[in-house]
């Protein structure tokens, strides 16, 4: 590994009496693609700006390859930034933009020329040297910004919603490209986004942030499949969330009461008791005929079915009042049932995840997520 380890220790940034970043500790390994994910205003940009050196931490340390850089000016740090607005210098052409920082690395003219050519080749912009930023498309500008940072061989690249200004299709294409590029150059990417799909598909690991704190940190699959709190489950748009009352069951299981029905759960915070949130992913919600019986089955009614192409989404309402979405195969009989059909919903014990009661900051409840299709990571 060429270095590029970032350690944040109790990092805090206060604006007035508001903690934009509140006691964050995490470690990003060298060569890792690490994302900070969270809703608007949760402190992602502030964290990134502290690592870049544009904001001074109120407290805590930023350790880059073993050295505390918390008070070092940005031009002395071996990190480079790709800004959300790109911040390309409008009065310089593409080649001059990319060459801007080389001057401070003591490059000879010939060497600079060669490195600029190399960087432009890396982002597939050879031939655009003499264009001004104003004469480039959004995606091309984004690549110039990338080349301008990468040409300096930083050990860490900071990216603040670098795809935020692009349309959905280009976004997806560049996500793949950016990830491939990161693997090729092997430097650490600290990536900020509020788009959960982007974070889930690109990152090696990610941290979900909430109000300046880290709500959960881990690899995408773990965070997606095993959200530790209602907040994370909700933000990742993963799940159906239901209110339930928990009580310890036998054999380390958890007994959940939803309305007048009793269910068993074998995953999540099994020792919880009292009111909790329960998450269940749409793929795991089974639908059977009303006459079916057995454990973990709850009566409900079909509210509507939505054909998704490769599958069908069935929205149901439990007798207890909660709405749930289920995704079934197109050849499942439930896909053909009309609205108003009474059914039984099957919620397997290993799919019912009891979420720690974090007194969460969940704004949305399941009512609002109904109709949205939960994204599934590739």
Pick the binder of ligand ATP from 6, 20, 230, 327 (CB under 6 A): 20
The span of 95-103, 284-292, 347-355, 370-378 binding other proteins (CB under 8 A) equals 95-103
**3 or 375: whose CB is closer to other proteins?**
3
Of positions 5, 45, 46, 81, contacts other proteins by CB under 8 A: 81
Give the residues across from 277 on adjacent strands.
Answer: 243, 355
Residue of 4, 31, 43, 133 interacting with ligand ATP (CB under 6 A): 43
DSSP codes, 298-367: EEEEEEEEEE-SSEEEEEEEETTS-EEEEEEETTSGGGGPPTT-EEEEE--TTT-EEEB---------HH
Instruction: State yes or no: residue 164 binds other proteins (CB under 8 A).
Output: no
45 makes contact with Mg ion (CB under 5 A):
yes
What gap in Å lies between CA 351 and CA 354, rounded to an integer? 9
User: DSSP secondary structure string, 198-252?
Assistant: HHHHH-SEEEEEETTEEEEEE-HHHHHHS-SBHHHHHHTT--EEEEEEEEE-GGG
Is the Cβ of residue 208 or residue 246 nearer to ligand ATP in the bound state? 208
- In contact, 292 and 344? CB cutoff 8 Å: yes
Shortest reach from residue 25's CB to ligand ATP, in Å: 17
326: Cα separation from own chain's centroid: 23
Nearer to other proteins, 81 or 296 (CB): 81
Interacting residue with ligand ATP among 6, 8, 11, 46 (CB under 6 A): 46
Tell which one of 13, 115, 148, 353 touches other proteins (CB under 8 A).
148
Query: Are 175 and 202 a contacting pair, CB within 8 Å?
Result: yes
| Binding pattern for the stretch 25-64 against other proteins, x by CB under 8 A and - elsewhere | ---------------------------xxx----------
41 binds ligand ATP (CB under 6 A): yes
Instruction: Find all residues with CB under 8 Å of 219, minimum gap 6, and list them.
Output: 203, 204, 205, 206
**188 binds Mg ion per the rule CB under 5 A:** no
Taking alpha carbons only, the member of 99, 28, 103, 100 closest to residue 63 is 28
Which residues sit at the interface with ligand ATP, rule CB under 6 A? 15, 20, 38, 40-46, 194
Which residues sit at the interface with Mg ion, rule CB under 5 A? 45
């Amino acid at each position: 590994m060429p270095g590029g380890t970032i350690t944040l220790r109790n990092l805090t940034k206060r604006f007035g009496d508001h903690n934009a970043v509140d006691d964050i500790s995490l470690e990003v390994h060298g060569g890792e693609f690490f994302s900070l994910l969270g809703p608007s205003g949760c402190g992602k940009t502030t964290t990134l700006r502290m690592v870049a050196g544009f904001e001074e931490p109120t407290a805590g340390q930023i350790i880059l390859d073993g050295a505390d850089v918390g008070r070092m000016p940005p031009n002395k740090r071996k990190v480079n930034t790709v800004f959300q607005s790109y911040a390309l210098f409008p009065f310089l052409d593409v080649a001059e933009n990319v060459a801007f920082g080389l001057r401070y690395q003591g490059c000879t003219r010939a060497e600079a020329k060669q490195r600029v050519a190399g960087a432009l080749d890396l982002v597939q912009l050879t031939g655009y040297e003499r264009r001004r930023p104003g004469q480039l498309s959004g995606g091309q500008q984004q690549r110039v910004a990338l080349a301008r940072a990468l040409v300096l061989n930083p050990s860490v690249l900071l990216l603040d919603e670098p795809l935020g200004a692009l349309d959905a299709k280009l976004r997806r294409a560049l996500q793949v490209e950016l990830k491939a590029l990161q693997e090729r150059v092997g430097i650490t990417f600290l990536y900020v986004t509020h788009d959960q799909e982007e974070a889930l598909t690109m990152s090696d690991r990610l941290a979900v942030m909430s109000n300046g704190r880290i709500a959960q940190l881990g690899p995408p699959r773990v965070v997606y499949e095993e959200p530790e709190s209602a907040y994370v489950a909700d933000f990742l748009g993963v799940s159906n969330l239901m209110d339930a009352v928990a009580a310890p069951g036998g054999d380390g299981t958890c007994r959940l009461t939803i309305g007048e029905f009793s269910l068993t759960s074998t995953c999540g915070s099994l020792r919880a008791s009292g009111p909790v949130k329960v998450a269940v992913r749409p793929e795991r919600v089974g639908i059977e005929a009303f006459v079916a019986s057995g454990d973990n089955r709850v009566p409900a009614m079909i509210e509507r079915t939505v054909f998704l192409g490769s599958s069908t989404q069935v929205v149901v309402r439990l007798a207890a009042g909660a709405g749930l979405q289920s995704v079934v195969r197109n050849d499942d009989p439930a896909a053909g049932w009309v609205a108003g059909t009474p059914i039984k919903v099957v919620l397997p014990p290993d799919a019912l995840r009891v979420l720690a009661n974090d007194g969460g900051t969940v704004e949305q409840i399941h009512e609002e997520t109904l109709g949205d299709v939960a994204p599934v990571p590739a």
